[in-house]
Structure 1
Amino acid sequence: MTGDLSRILTDVLKLPADRLSDDASLDHAGFDSLAVVELSVLLAERFGIDVSDNDIKDAATLGQLDLLITSKRSGR
């Protein structure tokens, strides 16, 4: 998982760092519906990318979420 995503999850969304691994599910990492919405807004504000709530929820793991964000940031 990239440092940017890790920092957002721990520093802003206050998710427990010991649960953040590439193979962790969003539920295991501590995501709730509010965290999903907050992450979507943060990604738009900080990186200028549109990642919908559904896109985030559809990621099976944090690693997949990280790949999605990385691909959107690179314009792919």
Structure 2
Amino acid sequence: MQRIDFDLDAGHDFVELNQLLKLVGIADSGGQGKAIVASGDVSVDGAVELRKTAKIRAGQVVRIDDTEIRVLG
């Protein structure tokens, strides 16, 4: 499994899920990120997440296929 640590920028409490996928290189654009989330292949803290702009905060873990993204604050 590939693990990616993502640091939230100082002063930001969250990142939108579709943007997170773009920022770590899983999606080429925010639109593609939305499509990936809509496909049902993304989970947050072990539960499938279908909200494209779900607020992902420090401490949460996002999984897609064999990739795990840990959001750090």
| TM-score, scaled relative to structure 1 | 0.33
Query: Higher helix fraction: Structure 1 or Structure 2?
Result: 1
Which structure is richer in relative contact order (CA contacts within 8 A, separation 6 or more)? 2
| TM-score, scaled relative to structure 2 | 0.34
